Copies of this chain bind each other. A is one copy, B any other.
Amino acid sequence: MAVPDKHILLMDGPDSKGLIYHVTGVLFRHNLNIIHNDEYVSPSGRFFMRTEFDGTFDSATLLQELHTTVPGSSGYIGSDTNAQLYKSDDTSSQAGITFRLNPKRKKNIVVLVTKEHHCLGELLIRYAFDELDADILAVISNYDLLKPLVSKFDIPFHYISHEGKTREEHEDAILQTMAIYEPEYVVLAKYMRVLTAGFVNHFPNRIINIHHSFLPAFVGANPYRQAYERGVKIIGATAHFVNNDLDEGPIIAQNVKDVDHRRTAADMATEGKDVEKIVLSQALKLVFNDRVFISGNRAIVL
């Protein structure tokens, strides 16, 4: 099977001598051209490599050859059958090196929001001009406030109120709607409800949230209020993967902004929006370009 031009090879596992040599050798023998190669070895001896290359090849043959050539290979996930991230420290992958091979392409996402428009607006404009590296399949919200905005961009908007529902009932309703779209990633663009472990487990390492503080400062509700009361001189925002502990998942990107004592909590919230939406967009660009590995609670960005 001939495959399209640009591909990304992701590799991670225990470090050993010659890994770069073995992998680049396989690519060389397939007459493939490395556009960019980046690797990282963690202090605990785990090796991560992302190789962007172009050329014509048969993906099954290439993956098989990587598997047999590279010492310590424990397997591969090929041809984008499964684009999502997986935890590199799973027991299985700890045992050896794993390869994933993805064609360079846009990802499919669903966006969850509550009432605030700034992050959603940012994503919609980028999507409308093909700058998001993703297709927004739908927007889901527990309020109908942002329906008019979403409608401007001809994207399905699902209003699923949480009122009169238990948390589980509400999440079930969302999951049913999600099931229509089968998104590769779920983006929480200021979705202001805590998700249960049950929900999160449906999308392991595939939910990205923007938190309106410089984590780990000001976990939880009202971070700008907390920031005001603590009298910080800098505020920030954090884009991170969601796991089962509130605001504790691997951090993908952060940015900050100077403030002074004159800013009220409301001022900080207003000014912080600019930081939030840009950080979220930057983090998504990294994830959608297959540049993010997860290692324990840390995100490795290659």
Name A's B-contacting residues (CB within 8 A): 17-18, 20-21, 24-25, 27-28, 31-41, 43, 117-118, 121-122, 125, 128-129, 131, 149, 152-153, 214-218, 229-234, 236, 250-256, 258, 260-262, 264, 270, 274, 278, 281-282, 297-301
Contact = CB atoms under 8 A, between A and B. Distances in A.
Contacts of A251: 230-233
Contacts of A300: 261
Given A21-B25, A27-B21, A118-B125, A250 B231 contact: yes
B17 A301 contact: no
A122 B35 CA distance: 33
Contacts of A34: 17, 20
Contacts of A152: 152-153
A217 B216 CA distance: 6
Q: Interface centre among A40, A217, A251, by most B CB within 10 Å?
A: A217
Contacts of A122: 125
A282 B234 CA distance: 15
Given A21-B24, A21-B27, A301 B216 contact: no
Contacts of A125: 117-118, 121-122, 125, 149
Contact of A274 (B39, B254, B258, B278): B278
B21 A28 contact: yes
A297 B231 contact: yes
A262 B252 CA distance: 14
A28 B261 CA distance: 26
Given A20-B24, A217-B217, A234 B236 contact: yes
Contacts of A33: 17
B261 A298 contact: yes
Contacts of A270: 131
A129 B153 contact: no
A274 B301 CA distance: 20
A165 B164 CA distance: 63
B264 A274 contact: no
A234 B216 contact: no
A232 B261 contact: no
A122 to B, nearest CB: 8
A233 to B, nearest CB: 4
